[in-house]
Chains A and B, each alone.
Chain A
Amino acid sequence: MKKQRSTFMFSMLCFGLAFLYIPMVLLIVYSFNHSKIVPIWGGFSFRWYKVLFESPEVWQALLLSLKIAVVNATFATLMGTLAGLALVRFGRFRGRTLFSGMISAPLVMPEVITGLSLLLLFITLSQFIGWPSERGFTTITIAHITFSMAYVAVIIQSRLTGMDESLEEAAQDLGAKPLRVLTDITLPILAPGMLAGWLLAFTLSLDDLVIASFVTGPGSNTLPILIYSRIRLGLRPDINALATIIIVTVAIGVILAGYIMWRQEKQRQRDQQMAAADKLDFDTETTA
């Protein structure tokens, strides 16, 4: 009976994993296909990787995507943190509920609508004040900041609500002026949250196809836009190679993050044991 159940569980697990990973494995396998027609196997080769690396368009798109992602993540973290601070630490100011609702609106708004409305904004602006004169890096970055910021604000908000407010009071009590409290206590404690926000904003920006394709202009292709536009004309082996590189990069990132978290957890457990051991020492000392 028990054996039966474990076989069932095992096959379910295999099915689940297969469902998740077979498409990606297929993609990786076909990226090493020598044949020009994707579904027909023509032998193992690095041919399409070579094509990929020699294509200047791909490099430009990658560079643009990374540039946008970094600038976006940085600004979104900055503004999102400020918004989170305002919402949690400034008490009840006029319009707080409205602000709090509006900050999370981009999270639920369909991307198509966000993209469309931003496009309209940029067109109107360029008509009236002549800026932005052309759409590309600047407009995509601004568009990305508007929605990434909301995610950062939510992360910071939850970190702040979980933070003991008496830490800030203690700093003040010890002679730190409000700005000092922010730089000495609040921000260092928020740092992990800000890093998480930065990484999330970075990923969101790299991922985004819909909003970017609305607000981009001629000649400014981010990586997702490039991939999508090429795939529209049919499956292409060089895109398989590109996708494989992305998958491997992401996998390495995830494994690395997992390892770091595992090590931190170990460290935390060790610290706790250490503190408990000291306590025992202390007790025996006093009873002796």
Chain B
Amino acid sequence: MSKDPKLAHRPWLDPEAEPYIKIQGITKRFGDFTAVDNVDLDIYKGELFCWLGGSGCGKSTLLRMLAGFETPTAGKIFIDGVEMNDIPAYERPVNMMFQSYALFPHMTVEKNIAYGLVRDGLDKATIQSKVEEIIDMVELTQFSKRKPHQLSGGQRQRVALARALVKQPKVLLLDEPLGALDKRLREQTQYELMNIQDQLGVTFIVVTHDQEEAMTLSTRIAIMDKGKFIQTGTPTEIYETPDSRFIANFIGSANIFEGHVVESGKEHVLVRSTRDQSLFYIDHGSDLQENAKVWVAIRPEKIKISKSPPEQSDHNQLIGTVDDIGYLGKLSNYKVLLDNGKIIDITYPNQVRPKSGDHLVDWEEKVYLSWDASSAVVLTH
């Protein structure tokens, strides 16, 4: 379709691409409470889009408006160019996978999956073959005659997925699709879900509160808080360039330093910390005013920790003592106490197997912290 093959996987960068789902100024109020507050969003065909947020942030309400279970107070939703506002749930080209799976308890796996096709009035042979095909895809063939209560949690999850997918909806809505599974099954199912989405090319919208799940699954993530999207982007964009302290802390963790701009140019920013006057040099430019109050965020895994002093420099260096060590096997978490009383989190991979069982550095040891000029991010709010 697109001339640039890169854009085929990133349609949101292509100015000519037409969004598949358009959410325009959607607001939903329940009495005095505004669950969704004037939200705009474009989603492109074939995306696996995650809405990430804590409970009560409005993500489920927005999903239910797409499915047609809630009517927006204001705004419009378009799917594939058609306005959805006046179309009832049972006529929308979307299907939903419910958090509780909502499998019909009085029907077998087969009947559950066939239900949507029967309602569409397809003939028996077509239904039969479609159902068999999808049951095969989710590997449930030997369970097709069972009732939902005779299945394990993971099997139920796959029945729910198959039932929602068999109608080949334009958009599949997934409400906390992996929420009810235990950790190991969840990790494995994540990849299954991605493969299925890739195979069928259906646009997925996933609602979740689990940031790891969102990071693994999605092409793009929109982070929701108090009924609004506060940042939208690819997992990398959101992790590496969060645009607020809230996001920096919500997605992963970050060490945040308050300071003010000393120098601001096209190629760099220099920030002086309010607390101890240390300097932060960041190698991407900004249009910040001098003396503006800003925050510098550095991810724990981007800080180098060392017992010997690094090359002398007047910026991006800190000195402290090791306060605590958390050994996690593949990596260790260090808490380093700076002279000014601030505690810095550092994550360091255990690349070398320590011979004596010692850590890279020990408790109460004096350490030097340093980081690359490209690692830190300047935040204005």
The answer to whether A and B interact is yes
With an 8 A cutoff between CB atoms, is B356 at the interface? Answer: no
Interface size class of A (residues with CB under 8 A): 20 to 34
Chain A residue nearest to B96 in the complex (CB): A173
B69 with A169: CB separation less than 8 A: yes
**Chain A residues within 8 Å of B99, by CB:** 166
A276 with B152: CB separation less than 8 A: yes
**Chain A residues within 8 Å of B104, by CB:** 167, 170-171, 185, 189
**Chain A residues within 8 Å of B167, by CB:** 174-175
Contact of A167 among B102, B119, B151 (CB under 8 A): B102
B119 with A174: CB separation less than 8 A: yes
Contact of A169 among B89, B105, B119, B163 (CB under 8 A): B89
Which chain B residues in 95-111 approach chain A with CB under 8 Å? 95-96, 98-100, 102, 104-106
A185 to B167, CA, bound (A): 19
A282 with B152: CB separation less than 8 A: yes
A185 to B107, CA, bound (A): 10
With an 8 A cutoff between CB atoms, is A134 at the interface? Answer: no
Scoring B106, B152, B155 by chain A CB atoms within 10 A of each residue's CB, the highest score goes to B152
Binds B, one of A39-47, A227-235, A267-275: A267-275
**Chain A residues within 8 Å of B233, by CB:** none
A170 with B150: CB separation less than 8 A: no
A169 with B152: CB separation less than 8 A: no
A275 to B163, CA, bound (A): 20
Contact of B96 among A170, A184, A278 (CB under 8 A): A170
| Given A180-B119, A185-B104, A188-B106: A279 in contact with B154 (beta carbons within 8 A) | yes
B90 with A175: CB separation less than 8 A: yes
With an 8 A cutoff between CB atoms, is B149 at the interface? Answer: yes
Contact with B along A173-207 (1 / 0, CB 8 A): 11111001000110011000000000000000000
A175 with B120: CB separation less than 8 A: yes
A276 to B147, CA, bound (A): 14
Cβ distance B65 to chain A, nearest Cβ, rounded Å: 13
**Chain B residues within 8 Å of A158, by CB:** none
| Given A275-B150, A282-B152: A175 in contact with B116 (beta carbons within 8 A) | yes
B98 with A170: CB separation less than 8 A: yes
Cβ distance A79 to chain B, nearest Cβ, rounded Å: 24
Chain A residue nearest to B98 in the complex (CB): A166
A274 with B150: CB separation less than 8 A: yes
Which chain B residues in 148-187 approach chain A with CB under 8 Å? 149-155, 163-164, 167
**Chain B residues within 8 Å of A176, by CB:** 90, 115, 119
With an 8 A cutoff between CB atoms, is A54 at the interface? Answer: no
A275 to B159, CA, bound (A): 14
| Given A275-B152, A276-B152: A164 in contact with B102 (beta carbons within 8 A) | yes
Contact with B along A260-288 (1 / 0, CB 8 A): 00000000100110111011001000100
| Given A166-B100, A166-B102: A174 in contact with B152 (beta carbons within 8 A) | no
**Chain A residues within 8 Å of B91, by CB:** 175
A127 to B149, CA, bound (A): 58
A105 to B137, CA, bound (A): 55
B152 with A278: CB separation less than 8 A: yes
| Given A170-B96, A173-B89, A175-B90: A282 in contact with B106 (beta carbons within 8 A) | no
Q: List 19 A-B contacts (CB under 8 A).
A: A164-B100, A166-B100, A167-B102, A169-B89, A173-B90, A173-B94, A173-B96, A174-B115, A175-B90, A175-B91, A175-B116, A175-B119, A176-B115, A188-B106, A189-B104, A268-B149, A275-B152, A279-B153, A286-B188
Residues in chain A within 8 A of chain B (CB atoms): 164, 166-167, 169-177, 180, 184-185, 188-189, 268, 271-272, 274-276, 278-279, 282, 286
* Known interface pairs A173-B95, A185-B104, A282-B155; 20 further A-B residue pairs with C-beta atoms within 8 A, sorted by A's residue number: A164-B102, A166-B99, A166-B102, A167-B105, A169-B102, A171-B104, A172-B88, A172-B89, A174-B90, A174-B95, A174-B167, A188-B106, A189-B106, A272-B149, A275-B152, A275-B155, A278-B151, A278-B152, A279-B152, A279-B153
Q: Which 5 A-B pairs have the closest CB atoms?
A: A174-B116, A175-B119, A279-B152, A170-B102, A166-B102
Residues in chain B within 8 A of chain A (CB atoms): 67-69, 88-91, 94-96, 98-100, 102, 104-106, 115-116, 119-120, 143, 147, 149-155, 163-164, 167, 188
